[in-house]
Copies of this chain bind each other. A is one copy, B any other.
Amino acid sequence: MSALDQVLSHVDDHLEESIDRLFDLVRIESISTDPAYKAECRKAAEWLERELKELQFDASVRPTPGHPMVVAHTPDHDSGPHVLFYGHYDVQPVDPLGLWNNPPFEPTVKVLPDGGKELTGRGTSDDKGQLLTFVEACRAWRAVTGKLPLNVSMILEGEEETGSPSLDDFLAAHKEELKADLALVCDTSMWDKDTPAITVRLRGMMKENLVIKAADRDLHSGGYGSAARNPLHVLSKIIADLRDDKGRVQIPGFYDGVGELPADIKKQWDELGFDGEEFLGEVGLSVPAGEEGYSVLEQLTSRPTCEVNGIWGGYNGEGSKTVIPAEANAKFTFRLVDQQEPVKIREAFRSFVEARLPTDCSVEYESVGGEFGPLVVDTDMPETQKVIKALSDEWNKEAALIGSGGSIPITTEFRSVLGMETLLVGFALEDDRIHSPNEKYDLKSFHKGIRSWVRIIAALGNS
């Protein structure tokens, strides 16, 4: 029996203990968004430090201006390959509490009618369960062979759910310590419950809030109607002009740096059998509203977006009020892809707005921060093929290279601050209800997730 097979058997034989450890961690109420849970966040960090030390990691809890980081390294680094693993131990708030079938911090194993099992509780999926798949894989290697076949460092964050405010500075300050050949992140989903996936495209983000002003006070529409400029009309015109009838964004230069999807990825996506109609049907829609000529999957992941997330101005109470307001407000987000740069998109958007401002109108912008560039993983690196093969071996199905409509800023930081590529490998499912009541993680995700990392560690270490 090969060492790999022995380690996989060890995972199977000790799964109950792995679940117990996950439940211990889930019981710690490490809600990072609420200052009342500060001590619980620290407790989770210390729990991880203790577990990793038990696995002979050189582990420590490191202070930040916010919740602490846990940093760990295998003590016996050699000249071979070296990965940096990332996960986060903080969780989302649990309200509304009344909608949970079981208390969020009292994890259980729920048996489904089809015999499948779910691990329930806040953080079982996002990200304590996912994080532990990697830790438990390390544990199995250590238990069976006495060492890891790969140099491993870890950074486990406690502020992911609050937008990672301390992460940039921490990475910059510990650049030499944290630099590795490759980053591995376990915070994403499978394609579906049978198909493992590596997320290779993440959209970037640019946010912009603005207010358009006209008269210096609210006016009576009887006394001023028509003659006075109405900023609600001006704002509406700007928003209406943003996209044409075919869903194409009209901001000059917006598509600079946006490439077409590589043929091999597009072919793979077409074969994944994503049903755009069904996807939209679940929320009461039937027709894709994005760029014509692109599938729903492409609209959601490989194409950029321009969305208004909020508008307001004038009277919104009961009945009516004959007012021409002095101001009109809107909030926008842009999801960016490929080589689009947030700074250039911001400039282009502002020029677009200002070109549509009539005399007597002015615009003010509110910077809300949080912008970051898109990420397209360099799938040509040899590690990609090794991880694909390891995943495909475990799941008996070719791993998909997928895009995510959402954004994981950490990956751009790894590239820009540490100069590393990232592979995002996760075992969550779309129905895990992360951030919602009744969060769960399939036992299969947890079990085969651990086994997947056992294989990936072997594959990357053997190179």
A binding-site residues for B, Cβ under 8 Å: 203, 207, 209, 214-217, 219-230, 232-233, 235-243, 247, 276, 279-280, 283-291, 296, 299-300, 303, 305, 307-316, 319-325, 328-329, 331, 333, 335, 358-360, 368, 370, 404-407
Contacts and interface: CB of A to CB of B under 8 A. Distances in A.
A388 to B, nearest CB: 25
B312 A312 contact: yes
Contact of A239 (B216, B236, B241, B300): B236
A405 B324 contact: no
A309 B286 contact: no
A91 to B, nearest CB: 18
A18 to B, nearest CB: 30
B287 A223 contact: no
A186 to B, nearest CB: 19
A321 B309 contact: yes
26 contacts: A214-B285, A221-B305, A221-B333, A222-B405, A223-B405, A224-B300, A225-B335, A226-B290, A226-B307, A226-B335, A227-B279, A227-B288, A227-B296, A228-B289, A232-B308, A232-B310, A236-B236, A236-B240, A236-B308, A285-B360, A286-B359, A287-B358, A287-B360, A310-B313, A310-B325, A312-B316
A303 B226 CA distance: 9
Contact of A228 (B217, B226, B283, B359): B283
A207, A216, A225, A324, most chain B CB atoms within 10 A: A225
Nearest to A318: B368
A223 B315 CA distance: 31
Contacts of A222: 203, 335, 404-407
